[in-house]
Chains A and B, each alone.
Chain A
Amino acid sequence: MDNLKEKLKVQVIERLNLKDLKPGDIGDDQPLFVEGIGLDSIDALELIVLLQQEYNIKLSNAEDGPRVFHSIRTMADYITANSGAVKVST
């Protein structure tokens, strides 16, 4: 789980081009949006694509977005819970 969280931090920084941040700067429970790291709606779309491309997980219900992408920990929990269970639709 810790490895997944560290991997997610690296992927989020790379995917969203957060050049000023290092993985150690992002707390596991730090909110990713608005008052936390300051991500916005376009970043949310990028994170959905990240889940699909890197973990083969499709966010089936858009209303789950705020909960799933609240922090690195919630993302890791969602990936762990859904890994291998949900396939990307083609």
Chain B
Amino acid sequence: MKDYIISTGNISPQHSMDVDAFFNSRNETSNNFFNALEPDYAAFVDSKMIRRMSRIVKMGVAASTTCLRNAGVEIPAAILTATAYGCLEDSATFLRKMIEFDEQMLSPTAFIQSTHNTVGAQIALLLKCHHYNNTIVHRAFSFENALTESRLLLEEGISPVLVGAIDEITYDRHAILSRFGLYKRDSGNIAGEGAAFFLLSKQPGNNYQAVLKAVQSFYKADIVQEDISKFLTTHEMDAELPGLILHSETVYDKTKGKNYRVLKNAFPGIPEFAFKSLCGDFPTSSGFALWFASLLLKEQKAPVWMHGIKFPLKNIFIYQQDGLHHSFYLISSD
């Protein structure tokens, strides 16, 4: 099954809103969190509308608007958003006010904006888009399931579909998860955030970016080589290895990981890159990986800070892992 990625829009800790800057410089962090580089939102949203939006909503609106502008599409046939944590900032604000005011006289704005589907709803409101709108919340399968639903909609002739992955770092989330030892600078595991949107179509159009060939998820402790072999065979890739592996193993301790060893054995000698070193760790970071893969396939060149990839680059395999959630992606140039 082939679906075309017509355009993308991405806000991340890298210069992802400016392709030239992204290819020429890599942003680093000295902290155990990696905040997104946010644009001037006034270029995307009217000031009257923006005043109620929290960071995650603004990121989602700006990334989706960029995606649609790049494609020259005003109204998509469907909008799907994927998020693991939803609008955490507003949720925390609402809960704090519940405590502060003893569950009386609660401000409506934080409540309204705290639901997981706020981003998708705001995009639709701004576009005045009354088409199908759904938000998928399924931890590290959120984006994968949103893509699956997008592809089913495309099969039914509903096209183009705007689909995006979005999550934010908030002070509370970071403090709580850090207490569990999730984020450690010295192990390379840093918290991340971002909003990546894609316009998908069954038709290639005049200037598509890449082809989404397959997405498959596994809920298990560890992947085995047979999982990769079956995936490649199913999608007729057994005779041809991908030219690049984008994986989610952490930057410094990846050689210790069992899943990483499986990956290395399945793709001997294939260049690899740990994409979370660019966007940080968050459950919907596979959106960043898909954006990165689409960009490399479209531009057919590597950023100055990335080495060892041979061009022309035809296929990219993405491996996303978050706890027991594992996903494989196959992205192609044609």
Contact = CB atoms under 8 A, between A and B. Distances in A.
A80 interface: no
Contacts of B106: 49
Given A49-B105, A49-B107, A49-B108, 9 more contacts: A17-B51, A42-B52, A42-B108, A42-B109, A45-B108, A52-B105, A53-B101, A88-B104, A88-B105
Contact of B51 (A16, A45, A53): A16
B104 A90 contact: yes
Contacts of B51: 16-19
A20 interface: yes
Contacts of A46: 107-109
Contacts of B107: 46, 49
Query: Interface range on chain A: under 10, 10 to 19, 20 to 34, or 35 or more?
Result: 10 to 19
Contact of B47 (A20, A45, A53, A90): A20
A90 B104 CA distance: 8
Contacts of A53: 101, 105
Q: Is the interface of B mostly helix, strand, loop or mixed?
A: loop
B112 interface: yes
Interface string B104-119: 1111110010000000
B179 interface: no
B48 interface: yes
B22 to A, nearest CB: 30
B269 to A, nearest CB: 55
A38 interface: yes
Interface in A45-90: 45-46, 49, 52-53, 88, 90
Contacts of A18: 51
B274 to A, nearest CB: 39
A53 B101 CA distance: 9
Contact of A17 (B52, B101, B105, B108): B52
A38 B48 contact: yes
Nearest to A89: B104
8 contacts: A17-B52, A18-B51, A38-B48, A46-B107, A46-B109, A49-B107, A49-B108, A88-B105
A16 B112 CA distance: 14
A42 B107 CA distance: 10
Nearest to A43: B109
A19 B53 CA distance: 13
Interface centre among A16, A42, A88 (most CB of B within 10 A): A42
